[in-house]
Amino acid sequence: MAKIVNLQELETFFQREHRNRIVLAGGCFDILHIGHVRFLSEAKKMGNYLVVLLENDEKVKKLKGKNRPIFTQEIRAEMLSALNCVDLVVVLPMMENDSDYMNLVTKIKPDIIAVTENDPNIDKKKGQAKKIGGELKVISSVKTLSTSALAKIIGVD
């Protein structure tokens, strides 16, 4: 199975990886930086299979502004898949509402949902974890420039 999949291809994942302790993380990962790498490395240590949900370009633009994303979802997925700690990258379509995410989390049924301490959706993700019988684990943020700060430095935002 490829390391980068869409929602339809995710079905194969369930057939192969149901025995592993699955950790789920997600985000935009627009300009991959040390904070992302350390977050994903720590998340992987919590289980033995790390699944990363990658937001699509339209969603990143909606969340971050008209000049974003800097890199397309395809490029961001390839960069994430190159990390040893990442086992699977799920390229998301436009997710319109919280129930879209809840349906996906219910399908994946991770043992752990990993977030950073400053995740703006931490309460929603805590609720998702509770509904599926999983755990929410908070990983400390790394003191580094954020993707948004980096985008301003290079003159994109």
Q: pTM of this prediction?
A: 0.90
Residue 148 belongs to what domain range?
4-153
Check residue 96 and give its pLDDT.
Answer: 86
Q: Write the CATH number for 119.
A: 3.40.50.620
Per DSSP, 142 falls in state: P
Question: Which residues 6+ apart lie within 8 Å of 92 measured at CB?
Answer: 7, 53, 54, 55, 56, 59, 104
Segment 7-41, tens digit of pLDDT = 888 877 766 656 689 999 999 999 899 999 999 99
Check residue 20 and give its pLDDT.
Answer: 80
Output the average pLDDT for the chain: 89
Residue bearing tokens 């993380």? 25
CB 20 within 8 A of CB 47: yes
Check residue 137 and give its pLDDT.
Answer: 97
Phi, psi angles (nearest 5°) of residue 148: -65, -40
Phi, psi angles (nearest 5°) of residue 116: -90, 160
Q: How many domains does the chain have?
A: 1
Segment 73-87, tens digit of pLDDT = 999 999 999 999 999
Take residue 114 and report the two structure tokens written for it: 């990993």
